[in-house]
Amino acid sequence: MTLATILIPAFNEVAVIERTLLHMSRGMSLADFRIVVIANACTDATAAKARSIMPQAVVIETGKAGKCNALNLGYKEADPDKPVICLDADLDVTAESLTSLIVPILEGTALASCGQMDVRASEASHLVRAYYKGWRTNPYFDRGKFGGLFALSAEAAKTVFPLPEITADDEYIRRSFSIEETAFVKECRFVARAPLSLSSLFKVRCRSLRGAREVQAMGLRKSEGSSVKAVIGRALRQPTGAFSILVYLSVNTAARFVLALRPSGKSGHWGRDLTTRVAS
């Protein structure tokens, strides 16, 4: 019996889609999950690679760009009575973690759930490594990372799909549910790769903050997220981490300043880090 549908939107991910699919399929019962890969405006062989690595997956191809459009198309292939898992195509997660992610949903104790993101930054520059060391001190992450990977109950999915054309789909969905309705599953861990350069990291942060600004303008519930005061407080209690926190706060402050100088506007294209889109 299928437990959930996994939606994997993918835009020119031929370099990493194999790694993602192989990582998650180890030990996975093919009967437990319906896997849907949505190749979104790809100009490479993402779709063909996904089919060759996981023949049992449903692979959709669309010429229209946009992650939200890709997720909407994928949701049409989902079982409307089962949970839905959204997974970015460049993340490493095991079948065990995916199964643990939907436990509170299947038990009826949560409408949404997220896990713990581990960032691999060993190959990144010194300042990028410092940024992510400071990033880990943000109180927001005490309750996991709702982004890149999260799960929704069947009822919750019906309330957010179809998604509007926005940049920050994960932020939009996160703000659609309260903290009490969202479970943090500590047993679910997944790995993201840090941008290799500070310039690439800066572009990623600008995109993330722009997306959050778009969602804020939609009038959804206020984000119960990070607190600069709390981050600084942790730096004072842990002086050895002060430099990393300073880098973290500086990058985010600079990104906010740059965005303040730009006219607001929606973008249906993915702004993302290309330095990690390299085959293993």
pLDDT, tens digit (0-9, with 9 covering 90-100), for 168-215: 999 999 999 999 999 999 999 999 999 999 999 999 999 998 998 888
pLDDT number for residue 231: 65
Round to whole Å and give the CA distance between 100 and 240: 35
Percent of the chain with pLDDT over 70: 88
Predicted TM-score (pTM) of the model is 0.90
pLDDT number for residue 263: 59
How many CA within 13 A on the CB side of residue 9? 23
Segment 59-79 shows an average pLDDT of 96
Give the pLDDT confidence of 13-55 residue by residue, as tens digits.
999 999 999 999 888 887 899 999 999 999 999 999 999 999 9
Cα-only R_g, the chain:
18
> Does 232 score more than 80 pLDDT?
no
Sequence-distant (≥ 6) Cβ neighbours of residue 262 within 8 angstroms: none
Q: Cβ atoms within 10 A of the Cβ of 250, count?
A: 14
Round to whole Å and give the CA distance between 44 and 204: 22
> Does 224 score more than 70 pLDDT?
no
3 and 106 Cβ atoms separated by less than 8 Å: yes
Give the pLDDT confidence of 115-166 residue by residue, as tens digits.
999 999 999 999 999 999 999 888 888 888 999 999 999 999 999 999 999 9
pLDDT number for residue 120: 96
Q: How confident is the model at residue 272 (pLDDT cuts 50, 70, 90)?
A: low
